[in-house]
Amino acid sequence: MDTHNFENVWVAPLTPQSFLDRSAYVFRDKTAVVYGAQRRTYAEFAARVNRLASALRAAGIEAGDRVAVLCPNTPPLLEAHFGVPLAGGVLVAINTRLSSDEIRYILEHSSAKLLFVDTELAPLVAPYVNDLPHLRQAIPIVDDQAGAPGLRLPGPDYETFLDTGSPDPAPSWLGSDKDTITINYTSGTTGRPKGVMYSHRGAYLNALGEALEVGLTSESVYLWTLPMFHCNGWCFPWAVTAMGGTHLCLRRIEPPLVVNLIHAEGVSHFCAAPTVLIMLVNHPASQDLRLTRPLRIVTAGAPPSPTIIQTVEELGAQITHVYGLTETYGPHTICEWQSQWDRLEPAQRARLKARQGVAYVHAVDLRVVDDSMNDVPADGQTLGEVIMRGNNMMKGYFNDPEATARAFAGGWFHSGDLGVMHPDGYIELRDRKKDIIISGGENISTIEVEQTVAQHPAVMEVAVIAVPDAQWGEVPKAFVTLKPGTQATAEEILAFCRERIARFKVPKTIEFGDLPKTSTGKIQKFRLREREWAGMEKRVN
């Protein structure tokens, strides 16, 4: 028998759209999305996604066209994770913390044909939105929860745009589950940001991996503290939907509001960088936190300290520590918990949980290797580069085959992070090959910051390193030598930087003086780091 003729019986494309189709059928009357006073069932959620998809097609979006969205964690961005791919398009969710120039670069590089932009963020794109050659239309998203009036661009708003579409199910334009579903731009740690391409297949498998690893069910209530623009929210828009859980959208993180929602809505899960956890546990509102149901918190970004892990778990929550990169759809590893560790003292448990761990159930391969790609000894001491491969690897960088080839050298993805392999097979990060700063979960290139500071007319030399910060984990600090005969204050240089790069990349402090150098004139950054981190254990992810 020629089984090839029956392939459509046992092979179906893997796409996250199938998750919404199923939940809209099985959980049609169950609450899918909550945002302020808004409550929508899965049937209503699916109808809005269908409207968006058909409206996009009517607006001229064709298979493979990029559709950009610049807005906080509000329902339109959640809907775009399903509606844009259903229309055949590729979603480009843009970091809301970027500068106007950085956003313009992404819009130009991705050749986005449509842009949905929240009115509060519209001033970032207004100066050039009509000059982008590929952009056909910019559609304002009007949100009554916005804290500032912002700017409403001309033309119909998001809700009016949806009204041009049909709520009826739209036929899929998916050609293959290897087609690109989203492009996520990195933070530009080595210059301009690179566009990381995710596939429908990868998004599907990563979403199921998240649901399995963190225990999502149809009774889960997921609070959107993690930005959806960041690795597509680690695939949780699709994971929560797959299980028929409830999305609790959140425009901005305000500790009193987070605590209130945990109480009022019975939040079961949320993801957050350690800096968010630090902010939450140290806010007076957290003193009133009384959990009425188990709360699972997934954390990554900069590695959480054992102290913050222990502090959060003393509130009754359960911490799950994961690690990954934009190129791995977010998490690639998880500190998989072993039941025998429950008998250890709290400090010992927290120390074990601070490790990055093992590969996700769907991720497959994880190694720590030397420069010849040989595995380092599993002794918890020998440093090597963390490399990965598996179902959660990006397809490559959009329109950048050279960078893709470098990242995949030797048939593995090279993270650029340095770590050790423990005897039990769990990895732990210790440093990185490049001087990348991770501040509150955002990557910052020291080279980019140095080049910006150096543009100031009074600056002769500059070195930027990560220094410890109680709130953000680490922040950039600039060491500056001024040109002879010139003067400049720290505030003047900081104001100069704020005009040119995103605010989270601007140095928090500036120190003036001579820079330590080798005999050949190379700045010795390690001496600056040793001084700033004296008496502290610098653990970077």
Give the model confidence (pLDDT) of 401-447 as tens digits: 999 999 999 999 999 888 889 999 999 887 566 667 888 888 787 77
Confidence tier at 541 by pLDDT (50, 70, 90):
very low
Lowest mean pLDDT among 85-89, 362-366, 444-448, 487-491: 444-448
Residue-wise DSSP of 43-61: HHHHHHHHHHHHHHHHTT-
| pLDDT (average), residues 193-211 | 97
For residue 354, is pLDDT > 60? yes
The tokens for 500 are 């040119």
pLDDT computed for residue 419 by the predictor: 83
Task: State how far the Cα of 483 lies from the Cα of 477, in Å rounded to an integer.
Answer: 19
The mean per-residue pLDDT over the stretch 306-322 comes to 87
H or E segment at 264? helix 255-265
Yes or no: say if 505 and 493 are a contact pair by the CB < 8 Å rule. Answer: no
Judged against a pLDDT cut of 70, whether residue 125 lies above it is answered with: yes
Q: In what order do the strands lie in the sheet with 38-41?
A: 38-41, 31-35, 246-248, 221-223, 269-272, 296-299, 318-325, 330-334, 358-359
Q: What residue ranges do the domains of the chain occupy? A: 11-252, 363-432, 436-532
390 token code pair = 């598996």
Phi, psi at residue 194, to the nearest 5°? Answer: -105, 145
Is residue 107 within 8 Å of residue 114, measured between CB atoms?
no
Query: Which helix (H) or strand (E) is 110 found in, with range?
Result: helix 100-110
Q: Tokens 């397809």 identify what position?
A: 395
Q: What is the CB neighbour count within 10 angstroms for residue 231?
A: 25
Pick from 258-267, 309-318, 324-333, 488-497: least confident = 309-318
> Could you read off the pLDDT of 174-187 as tens digits, one per residue?
989 999 999 999 87
Mean pLDDT of 242-259: 95
CB neighbours of residue 422 within 10 Å: 17
Coil, strand or helix at 455 = coil
**163, 51 Cβ separation under 8 angstroms:** yes
- Cα torsion at 352, 354, 357, 363 (round to 10°)? 150
Work out the average pLDDT over 256-269.
94
Closest among 321, 295, 304 to 440, alpha carbons compared: 304
CA distances from 293 to 219, 221, 269, 521 (A): 11, 11, 10, 59
- Span 468-495, mean pLDDT? 92
In this prediction, what percent of the chain has a pLDDT beyond 90? Answer: 68
Mean pLDDT calculated for residue range 304-317: 81
Whether 520 shows a pLDDT value over 60: the answer reads no
pLDDT in the model for residue 448 = 78
One-letter identity of residue 477 = K
Domain 436-532 has CATH 3.40.430.10: no
Which CATH superfamily, name and number, covers 11-252?
Answer: ANL, N-terminal domain (3.40.50.12780)
Work out the mean pLDDT of the chain and round it to a whole number: 91
What backbone phi and psi angles, to 5 degrees, belong to 521?
Answer: 95, 5
77/62 Cα distance (integer angstroms):
20
Q: Which two tokens stand for residue 382?
A: 């020998």
pLDDT of residue 230: 92
Lowest model confidence (mean pLDDT) among 22-26, 52-56, 304-308, 525-529 = 304-308
Q: What is the CATH number of domain 363-432?
A: 2.30.38.10
Q: What is the pLDDT of residue 31?
A: 98
Instruction: Determine the pLDDT at residue 1.
Output: 44
Q: Are 93 and 69 in contact (CB under 8 A)?
A: yes
The predicted pLDDT at position 4 comes to: 60
pLDDT band at residue 191 using 50, 70 and 90 as cut-offs: low
Q: CA-to-CA distance for 258 and 277, rounded, in angstroms?
A: 11
pLDDT for res 290: 79
Per-residue pLDDT, averaged over 250-268, amounts to: 93
Length of the chain counted residue by residue: 541
User: In this structure, are strands 384-389 and 413-421 parallel, antiparallel, or unpaired?
Assistant: antiparallel
pLDDT at residue 2 greater than cutoff 60: no
Residue 520 or 55, more confident: 55
Provide φ and ψ at 24, rounded to 5°: -70, -25
Which tokens belong to 503?
């605010």
Chain-centre distance for alpha carbon 293: 27
For residues 469-495, give the mean pLDDT. Answer: 92
Task: Place 324 in a pLDDT band, splitting at 50, 70 and 90.
Answer: very high
What gap in Å lies between CA 494 and CA 510, rounded to an integer? 8
Is residue 200 scored above 70 in pLDDT?
yes
